[in-house]
Amino acid sequence: MLDPFVLRAIWGILFASLSTPVSVIMLLRGALYITPEISHAALGGAAVGVLIQLFFPGLPDPFFFAVLFCIATSLFVSRIGKGGQQALGMMLSVSLATSVMLYAIIRSYLPIDRRVAVDSYLVSDLLLLSDMDVLSIAVVSTVAIVVTAVLYREFIYICFDMETAESLGLRVGLYDSLLFTVSAVTVAVVARTMGVLLSVTFLVIPAAVSRLLARRTGKMLVTSFIAAILSGLGGIAISLFYNVPTSGAIALVSISLFLSAYSIKLILSR
Amino acid sequence: MSNSVISVRNVSVRLNGRMVLEDVSFDVESPSLITVVGPNGAGKTTLVRLLLGMVRPFKGSVKVLGLDPFDEGSKLRSLVGYVPQRDKVSHEIPLRVGEVVLMGKVLRRRFPRSVSRDDVESARDALASLGMEAHWDSLYSELSGGQQRRVLIARALASDPELLLFDEVFAGLDSESQGNLLAIIKQLKGRGKSMLLVEHEIDPIMDLTDRILVLNRVVCVYGEPSKVLSEDALRPLYPCLRTIEKEGKRVMILGDKHA
């Protein structure tokens, strides 16, 4: 029988892995590079959530504030990003600076036991996830993956040819915003499970692995999911055997997977 | 009796505070092939977007097949096929050719836009009519530029539209692919399709076009090629214009000078 801490970590990884198909679509949309930046908003959101919960204990888990902050930042950045790369870069810096400021200022006013809750968004330890954490992650990531599955065709077509999609009557602005919203939700889930500092491990690397190994869009989604699961479970195993931090171990397995995929691709292309 | 496919009356379009089209008027009879030419930034693509209902004029009226593209877009969409510029389409996404052609069918539908057997059949027919049926399962991104253009035309043809709008379909093609594309356009003309092509250069399509519209924010000239294509008429728009002999024919090179 598995230890409840390990079991919760495994559930956390399974639900965080559901984010990878969304990351693949963001990769095809040419916007995956903004997702690690969006994850910083989770830090500010969590800090605000913890502060509010201090005064109003009945309010939802700080994770939901992290989700809301990520959604707001993602939509804001996607709108401003249409003004060009410079505007996008500037807005990403603004969102990062705002989140870091909120985190630092609010953290200094929090009692020590509540600081831990905010810090867990910076460097998370999967083995410390609570039942409530797992439940929140499960609900949010399930909603995100269901929405993605239902709107998959629309998302892929706007990534492929937005102009024609619009000419055929698709409300491309609405669907694009929905894609950025769903992506933001998955970013918040990954920030909660992996921590903001190592979120790139789950947000970018499995999608990059799938790009190297799969030749069809559908297969890319499956490959990225498998890559995320392997990284997660492999990382938990290494962390337990060698007593090293879980998120760091997952990141290392994930990078090893990417290097292996890159080598395979290199050998096959010769 | 006049059978107007496109009727544009005194249309002006402003985008981001800049006047892109000004007091544009012209009519297109059915069936015919119209080529719209003009320097970069002349408003050619905006004109196509206007006819597709993606841009609303702040002045004037537009009718496509008797319908207002902006207010009656849902009725119009099944009657008009659109082939965009090459750089508007992603070449990174590993979609199969069949999926690309089906896009022209399913996105015209209401949600949840399920794909029926009839859709697949008409998509395959459209592809077969352009000699591409063997590529149904091929990756779009791995096709040549000319083949990709044919797939996009097949996508536009999948719903058997009455009018086809092409935005710079000849751009970036080698002469062999241009020849193949011309043969397709000739075939479509033979099938009675009305077409409006936006091109940067007149040369590739000159022999097939019924009328040429020279656009530079305003309609500069509109008429039959023999009447429109004089150096005197085009020189103000294309300062680098020159006429050369190519394979025994007189060819106008408009040059890349922006207006």
Q: Do B95 and A217 touch (CB under 8 A)?
A: yes
Chain B residues lying within 8 Å of A161, measured CB to CB: 84, 88-90, 103
User: Is residue B254's pLDDT more than 70?
Assistant: no
DSSP state of B26: E
Q: Do A216 and B94 touch (CB under 8 A)?
A: yes
Side chain identity, residue A121: Y
Q: Do A150 and B112 touch (CB under 8 A)?
A: yes
Q: Flag whether residue A222 sits within 8 Å of chain B, measured between CB atoms.
A: no
Q: Flag whether residue A215 sits within 8 Å of chain B, measured between CB atoms.
A: yes
Structural domain spans, chain B: 1-79+161-232, 91-160
B259 confidence band (pLDDT: 50, 70, 90): very low
User: Is residue B255's pLDDT more than 70?
Assistant: no
- Alpha-carbon distance A16 to nearest alpha carbon in chain B (angstroms): 24
Chain B stretch 153-212, residues whose beta carbon is closer than 8 A to a beta carbon of chain A = 155
Chain A residues lying within 8 Å of B159, measured CB to CB: none
Contact A206, A225 (CB under 8 A): yes
Rounded to the nearest integer, the mean pLDDT of chain A is 92
Q: What tens digit of pLDDT does each residue of B192-230 get?
A: 999 999 998 777 788 899 999 999 999 988 999 887 777
Q: Do B100 and A217 touch (CB under 8 A)?
A: no
Torsion of CA B49, B50, B56, B57, to 10 degrees: 140
- Alpha-carbon distance B217 to nearest alpha carbon in chain A (angstroms): 22
ipTM for the whole complex: 0.88
Q: What tens digit of pLDDT does each residue of A53-105 get?
A: 888 887 778 999 999 999 999 998 888 777 677 877 887 788 888 988 999 99
Q: Name the closest residue on chain A to residue B103, using Cα atoms.
A: A157
Q: Flag whether residue A130 sits within 8 Å of chain B, measured between CB atoms.
A: no
- Alpha-carbon distance B110 to nearest alpha carbon in chain A (angstroms): 9
| Residues A200, A20: Cα–Cα separation, whole Å | 11
| Structure tokens given for A221 | 């989604």
| Residues B33, B196: Cα–Cα separation, whole Å | 6
Neighbour count for residue A229 (Cβ, 10 Å)? 18
Chain B residues lying within 8 Å of A171, measured CB to CB: none
Backbone conformation region of residue A68, classed left if phi is above 0, alpha if psi is from -120 to 50, else beta: alpha
B246 confidence band (pLDDT: 50, 70, 90): low
Q: Name the closest residue on chain A to residue B86, using Cα atoms.
A: A161
- Give the residue from B168, B231, B226, B106 showing the smallest Cα distance to A169: B106
**Positive/negative CA dihedral, B86, B90, B93, B97:** negative
Point out the residue among B82, B88, B94 whose CB comes nearest to the CB of A217: B94
Rounded to the nearest integer, the mean pLDDT of chain B is 89
B61 confidence band (pLDDT: 50, 70, 90): very high
Chain B residues lying within 8 Å of A176, measured CB to CB: none
Beta strands across the sheet bearing B33-37: B80-83, B163-167, B194-199, B33-37, B211-216, B218-223
Q: What tens digit of pLDDT does each residue of B131-180 get?
A: 999 999 999 999 999 999 999 999 999 989 999 999 999 988 888 888 99
Instruction: Check residues B73 and B2 and name the one with the higher pLDDT.
Output: B73
Contact B55, B15 (CB under 8 A): yes
- Give the residue from A102, A164, A213, A52 showing the smallest Cα distance to B161: A164
Point out the residue among A160, A166, A169 whose CB comes nearest to the CB of B93: A160
Q: Do A150 and B54 touch (CB under 8 A)?
A: no
State the CATH class of domain B1-79+161-232: alpha beta
Structural domain spans, chain A: 4-197
Q: What tens digit of pLDDT does each residue of A158-215 get?
A: 999 999 999 999 999 999 999 999 999 999 999 999 999 889 888 999 999 999 999 9
Q: Find all residues with CB under 8 Å of B174, minimum gap 6, and list them.
A: B145, B146
Q: Name the closest residue on chain A to residue B87, using Cα atoms.
A: A161
Q: Flag whether residue B77 sits within 8 Å of chain A, measured between CB atoms.
A: yes
- Alpha-carbon distance B99 to nearest alpha carbon in chain A (angstroms): 9
Q: What is the pLDDT of residue B249?
A: 66
Contact B29, B224 (CB under 8 A): no
- Alpha-carbon distance B210 to nearest alpha carbon in chain A (angstroms): 26
Neighbour count for residue B143 (Cβ, 10 Å)? 18
Chain A residues lying within 8 Å of B110, measured CB to CB: none
| Residues A227, A18: Cα–Cα separation, whole Å | 11
Q: What is the CATH number of domain A4-197?
A: 1.10.3470.10
Chain B residues lying within 8 Å of A163, measured CB to CB: 84-85, 88-89
What is the DSSP secondary-structure string of B209-232?
-SEEEEEESEEEEEE-HHHH--HH
pTM of the model: 0.91
